[in-house]
Chains A and B, each alone.
Chain A
């Protein structure tokens, strides 16, 4: 990947991390208060983020033949199968249990919210077990 692309990825990540922090999504207490119907603010975050992205994903590939720095627009493809739905149910159970999802776990380090180290290590452990239990679909 080109140097400029890597720089763009870093900038995008930084905007994302700033947004997660500014919206207080990096605070498990706030996420849990949403899941307990005490403060519905999370819906504004999810709504604003997905609507902005919706406009981009739907319009940009019609206006530009390729991204500014690379050759193709990737697509987000999700599959309608048991794993997607069962995994989502499990993910929700974990998310509701700790109030932390993957983005805020990572961003939490930058905000010096040190208990997030526990969550990060645990997410790695869960992802590792999932990988070990799954047969590779690729050529390897």
Chain B
């Protein structure tokens, strides 16, 4: 299957299984607690522990900060389980300026948009939200441009 090999040089199975795990994670959270398992609000809600600025102290932010923190801790635990079972250690070779500048824009943009790859991409699509569909198309497009530019600049 040359076309499959060209499109997916590293195979398909691990992508599919990993994606199913993520879908089961968000589904499990919903069935047990009714919560929507998106990720980026974690950063704003965790800032509410340390900043008194009114935006961070809104009820809907403060009331979700504990479970969002627990969710993030779970994420770290899950990745550690992977590392100690089937995973192999690795360090990214991405440059520090890529990680720093990219991360900053990710944080600003995801919170302005009120969603990231999990918020709009998984939870938004699964909720059949038109703005989320549009957001996904927009961020995929701008990310493709940005990934090309960063390579020209000498990034990984």
Tell whether A and B belong to one assembly.
yes
**Interface residues, chain A, with chain B CB atoms under 8 Å away:** 1, 5-6, 8-30, 32, 35-42, 44-58, 60, 64, 66-81, 83-103, 105-116, 118-132, 134-140
* Residue with the greatest number of chain B CB neighbours at <10 A, chosen from A37, A49, A60, A105: A49
Give the number of residues in B that approach A within 8 Å (Cβ atoms): 126
User: Which of B18, B33, B53, B110 is in CB contact (< 8 Å) with A131?
Assistant: B53
Interface of chain B residues 115 through 155 with chain A (CB within 8 A): 115-132, 134-136, 138-151, 155
A-B contact pairs, 30 of them (CB 8 A): A1-B33, A13-B74, A17-B78, A24-B18, A25-B18, A35-B146, A37-B144, A46-B19, A52-B26, A54-B126, A56-B27, A76-B38, A78-B135, A83-B112, A86-B113, A87-B111, A88-B134, A97-B101, A100-B103, A101-B116, A103-B116, A118-B96, A120-B103, A121-B103, A122-B103, A123-B43, A126-B105, A130-B108, A131-B56, A136-B57
Q: Which residues of A contact B118 (CB under 8 A)?
A: 101-103
Give every chain A residue within 8 A of B46 (Cβ-Cβ).
Answer: 124
Given A46-B121, A92-B138, A130-B111, A106–B76 Cβ distance below 8 Å?
yes
Say whether B67 contacts A6, CB under 8 Å: yes
Q: Which residues between 65 and 89 of chain B lie within 8 Å of chain A, taking CB atoms? A: 66-67, 70-83, 86-87, 89
Do residues A131 and B47 form an inter-chain contact, with CB atoms below 8 A?
yes
Cβ-defined contact, B33 with A67, below 8 A: yes
Closest B-chain residue to A72, C-beta based? B34
Closest to A99 in B: B94
A contact residues around B136 at 8 Å (CB):
88
Given A45-B18, A53-B122, check contact A76 B25 (CB 8 Å).
Answer: no
Contacts of A68 in B (CB 8 A): 31-33
Nearest first, the 8 A-B pairs at minimum CB distance are: A13-B74, A23-B18, A126-B107, A52-B23, A98-B102, A87-B113, A17-B78, A19-B21
In the bound complex, CA of A54 to CA of B6 (Å) = 29
Task: Find chain B residues with CB under 8 A from A10 CB.
Answer: 70-71, 73-74, 77
Nearest-CB distance from A42 to chain B (Å)? 7
Residue contact B98 to A50, C-beta cutoff 8 Å: no
**B75 with A29: CB separation less than 8 A:** no
Are A90 and B112 CB-contacts (below 8 A) given A18-B21, A73-B30? Answer: yes
